[in-house]
């Protein structure tokens, strides 16, 4: 599934997204925690440094920027130093703040985390201090936010609501915002506050509650995946939702959909360093995907990867598309995924180039896959980071006059055999007599060919050299060729064997 998700990632585009919710400043105090205070039996933290990060709805916005979205933010901050620091962080991140207003009656919501390290090990959170006011926004501020949002709704591809129960997401603001989004045909997804009344989210496109929040919303504990599947159905039906994404930490995500049975999308195990920000990362990934029209099942798979990468970090760290790509490139590759259309491979190659990978391509009929092919393809793979095999179609093989009964195996069988090899990353079938069209579309860094060719005899050489690529002949395994193997089989001769490698002296 990793190859398919790479393709999904390449089709996300650069949507413009509105984030509404509670803005938080996360302050981290890092230090050494090896001593015990002489004043009381408590750990003494010797401060080494401080840093601040965007939190809450501001963190969702920052995560979206990391996913190459253009983002505007709506909410309030205090008229204080923390508010100025938060505003500066938003500006430095390229986040639009025309709908962010100062409220002199409340402080900027700030979470101060004390991070202690002992014996040179990874730091851990020792204490968190919150500075906040949770009273609902006065109606005047809610009106001000709505007046700033409404004229620009047509600019957005999606709206995300990050409700941390700090007073911004009032029932009236949510009702009017959801109504405006539906009238504009925009998907609107809410990350609900713990213990929230889900009637306030009624009519939204979707919600992203975690295990605990889901249990409180439906009035029963979510212990198993089956519990989550049932709860997702309940939320969809009870609150007029199209989608419910129940995040289950190590168990992945359960997706509830209106009119369809809920499904469970598992995730692979991760080394959990810090769960802070994982929910925001999942919300941001879902927002970008919905804006791009990605299927909800694929959204869950991509969100699993993004959330998994986030929990491997210490503190809130934005996960970029590059991070997602690198993780997907190292995922398990299923053989059936490797056989792709040319346009699909082109998108995959584009993604791999962004990751700095070197692309190698070879082509041929591969009519009867044998040990010589395997050795040659393994050698070709060592020329770069990604090996593409351009495979002649059945019609193309016949035009090459390989014989009246060739190919022995049809193109689907030949492609599946090649895709089963670990050395091969992609197989693309082409109909033409030459691989020229494939080479122009993919522009591999290296074109290789096995057999008794010299570099100047390799078909497609002029195409590759024209754009600055390299051509290399890899030779042939002695005593092995498809034509010779077919001849021996028909003559019922003895089995073909590879020359034994010489043993090195001990």
Are residues 296 and 355 both part of a single domain? no
Are residues 434 and 482 both part of a single domain? yes
Query: Helix, strand or coil for residue 466?
Result: helix
Using CA atoms, how far residue 426 sits from 115, 329, 340, in Å, is: 45, 13, 7
- Whether 364 maps to a domain, the answer reads yes
Query: Helix, strand or coil for residue 129?
Result: strand
**In terms of residue numbers, what domain contains 402?**
342-491
Are residues 351 and 320 both part of a single domain? no
- Whether 497 maps to a domain, the answer reads no
Q: Terminus-to-terminus CA distance in the chain, angstroms?
A: 45
Are residues 357 and 320 both part of a single domain? no
Are residues 365 and 438 both part of a single domain? yes
- Whether 335 maps to a domain, the answer reads no
In whole angstroms, give the CA distance from residue 124 to residue 34.
12
Contact 397, 484 (CB under 8 A): no
Residue list, annotated binding site: 210-213
Are residues 242 and 119 both part of a single domain? yes
Among residues 280, 298, 394, 425, which one is catalytic? 280
- Whether 503 maps to a domain, the answer reads no
Q: Which of 284, 306, 330 is the last residue of a domain?
A: 330
Are residues 379 and 358 both part of a single domain? yes
Based on the residue annotation, tell me whether 343 is a catalytic residue of this protein.
Answer: no
Using CA atoms, how far residue 53 sits from 82, 113, 141, 403, 499, in Å, is: 11, 11, 25, 68, 62
In whole angstroms, give the CA distance from residue 221 to residue 90.
38
Are residues 390 and 460 both part of a single domain? yes
- Whether 501 maps to a domain, the answer reads no
Residue list, annotated binding site for ATP: 210-213
In whole angstroms, give the CA distance from residue 6 to residue 298.
11
Among candidate residues 166, 153, 124, 137, the one with its CA nearest the CA of residue 25 = 166
Are residues 321 and 434 both part of a single domain? no
- Whether 502 maps to a domain, the answer reads no
CATH code, domain with 445: 3.40.50.620
Domain count for the chain, please give it. 2
- Whether 209 maps to a domain, the answer reads yes
Q: Which of 330, 352, 368 is the last residue of a domain?
A: 330
CATH code, domain with 130: 3.40.1190.20
pLDDT values of the chain reduced to their tens digit, one per residue, 506 residues:
577 888 888 889 999 999 999 999 999 999 998 889 899 999 999 999 999 999 999 999 999 999 999 999 999 999 999 999 999 999 999 999 999 999 999 999 999 999 998 776 778 889 999 999 999 998 888 899 999 999 999 999 999 999 999 999 999 999 999 999 999 999 999 999 988 999 999 999 999 999 999 999 999 999 999 999 999 999 999 999 999 999 998 889 999 999 999 999 998 776 666 667 788 999 999 999 999 999 999 999 999 999 888 877 766 788 888 888 888 887 656 677 889 999 989 988 988 898 889 999 999 988 888 888 888 899 999 999 999 999 999 989 888 866 667 788 889 999 999 999 989 999 999 999 899 999 999 999 999 988 777 777 789 999 999 999 999 988 665 555 666 666 666 666 555 454 555 554 44
Q: Residue 506: its pLDDT value, please?
A: 42
Are residues 307 and 385 both part of a single domain? no
Contact 79, 101 (CB under 8 A): no
Name the pairing type of β-strands 188-191 and 206-207.
parallel
Q: Residue 268: its pLDDT value, please?
A: 76
- Whether 499 maps to a domain, the answer reads no
Q: Which of 295, 330, 365 is the last residue of a domain?
A: 330
Find the farthest-apart pair of alpha carbons in the chain and give their distance in angstroms, rounded: 94
Are residues 271 and 372 both part of a single domain? no
Are residues 196 and 309 both part of a single domain? yes
Residue carrying the six token digits 């609900």: 192
Which DSSP symbol is given to 275? -
Strand order in the sheet with 470-475: 426-430, 386-392, 359-364, 446-450, 470-475
Give me the torsion for CA of 145, 150, 156, 162, rounded to 10°.
Answer: 30
DSSP for 298-343, written as a single string: HHHHHHHHHHHHHHTSSS--PPPHHHHHHHHHTS---HHHHB--HH
The model's pTM: 0.78
């Amino acid at each position: 599934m990793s190859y398919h998700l790479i393709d999904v990632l390449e089709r996300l585009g650069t949507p413009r997204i509105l984030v509404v919710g509670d803005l938080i400043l996360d302050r981290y105090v890092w230090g050494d925690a090896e001593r015990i205070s002489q004043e009381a039996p408590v750990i003494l933290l010797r401060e080494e440094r401080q840093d601040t990060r965007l939190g809450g709805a501001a963190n969702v916005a920052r995560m979206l920027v990391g996913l190459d979205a253009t983002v505007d933010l709506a909410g309030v901050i205090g008229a204080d130093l923390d508010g100025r620091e938060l505003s500066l962080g938003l500006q430095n991140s390229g986040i639009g703040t025309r709908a962010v207003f100062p409220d002199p009656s409340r402080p900027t919501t700030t979470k101060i985390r004390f991070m202690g390290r002992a014996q040179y090990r990874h730091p851990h959170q020792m204490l968190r201090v919150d500075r906040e006011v949770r009273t609902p926004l006065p109606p005047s501020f809610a009106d001000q936010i709505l007046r700033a949002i409404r004229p620009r709704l047509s600019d957005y591809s999606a709206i995300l609501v990050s409700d941390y129960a700090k007073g911004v997401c009032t029932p009236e603001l949510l009702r009017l915002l959801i109504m405006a989004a539906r009238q504009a045909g925009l998907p609107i997804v809410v990350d609900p506050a713990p213990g929230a009344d889900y009637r306030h989210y009624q009519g939204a496109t979707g919600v992203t509650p975690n295990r605990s929040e889901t249990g409180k919303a439906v009035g029963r504990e979510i212990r198993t995946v089956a519990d989550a599947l049932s709860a997702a159905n309940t939320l969809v039906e009870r609150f007029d939702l199209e989608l419910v994404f129940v995040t289950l930490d190590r168990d992945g995500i359960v997706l509830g959909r209106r009119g369809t049975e809920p499904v469970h999308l598992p995730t692979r195990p991760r080394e959990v360093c810090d769960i802070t920000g994982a929910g925001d990362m999942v919300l941001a990934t879902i927002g970008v995907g919905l804006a791009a029209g990605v299927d909800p099942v694929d959204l869950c798979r991509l969100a699993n990867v993004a959330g998994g990468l986030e929990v491997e970090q210490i503190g809130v760290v934005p996960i970029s598309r590059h991070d997602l790509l690198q993780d997907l490139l190292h995922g398990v590759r299923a053989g059936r995924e490797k056989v792709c259309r040319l346009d699909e491979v082109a998108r995959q190659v584009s993604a791999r180039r962004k990751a700095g990978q070197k692309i190698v391509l070879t082509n041929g009929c591969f009519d009867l896959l044998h040990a010589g092919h395997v050795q040659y393809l393994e050698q070709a793979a060592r020329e770069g980071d990604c090996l593409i095999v351009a495979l002649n179609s059945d019609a193309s093989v016949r035009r090459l006059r390989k014989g009246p009964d060739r190919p022995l195996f049809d193109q689907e069988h030949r492609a599946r055999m090649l895709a089963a090899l670990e050395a091969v990353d992609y197989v693309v079938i082409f109909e033409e007599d030459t691989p020229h069209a494939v080479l122009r579309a993919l522009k591999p860094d290296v074109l290789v060919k096995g057999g008794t060719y010299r570099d100047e005899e390799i078909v497609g050489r002029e195409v590759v050299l024209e754009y600055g690529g390299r051509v290399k002949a890899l030779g042939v395994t002695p005593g092995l060729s498809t034509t010779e193997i077919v001849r021996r089989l028909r003559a019922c001769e003895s089995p073909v064997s590879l020359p034994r490698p010489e043993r090195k002296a001990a």
